[in-house]
Amino acid sequence: MRRLLLASSSPYRRDLLSRLQLPFDCCAPDIDETAYANEPAERLVQRLAGAKALALAASHPDHLIIGSDQVAVLGGDILGKPHTLERAMAQLKACSGHSVSFLTGLALLDSRSGRLQVDCVPFTVHFRELDEARIERYLRIEQPYDCAGSFKAEGLGISLFRSTSGTDATSLIGLPLIRLVDMLLAEGVQIP
């Protein structure tokens, strides 16, 4: 079987990929993740997912390389990773009572043939009305400062949601496994 390579250092993506029970390696790509001027969010995540996979092709010439990138979009604005308590507070206040679209770009590169599959998997979170005290309690407990949208859906962050909608809940965590399985099957990978 061809070796899989996850082009990421994200522990969240690594944990998700391990669910498929396929052996894989991880390697963080070094790419510029700056958005182009007026680049639509969907195009941005597709471009970055592909760039992450392509960045590792030369050093891994006989692999299936998985790239992924995610942004959160609220009212047309991209929400990045907050990195600080203050920014996370501001993000969650803005999300309160609103719907946020999470767009996850996914790429699978066959580094032997050069075949690149790329897609974008959307998922929407409908937030509860959140007061400042609840937001602060949540942030102090979970500290999701490395997560777009300022929450961890696989943890206590789920308590902030009124509902969700989309075809693949794993896309919310950063690696849409349902779509990835489609891509892997197209490359002849046997999945239990």
Q: Which residues contact 73 (CB under 8 A, 6 or more apart)?
A: 41, 79, 100, 101, 102, 103
Q: What is the DSSP string of 177-190?
A: HHHHHHHHHHTT--
Q: Is residue 86 helix, strand or coil?
A: helix
Backbone angles phi, psi at 180, to 5 degrees: -60, -40
Active-site hit among 69, 110, 119, 168: 69
Query: What's the length of the chain?
Result: 192
77 is catalytic: no
- Residue tagged 């007026």 (tokens): 38
Catalytically active residues are 69
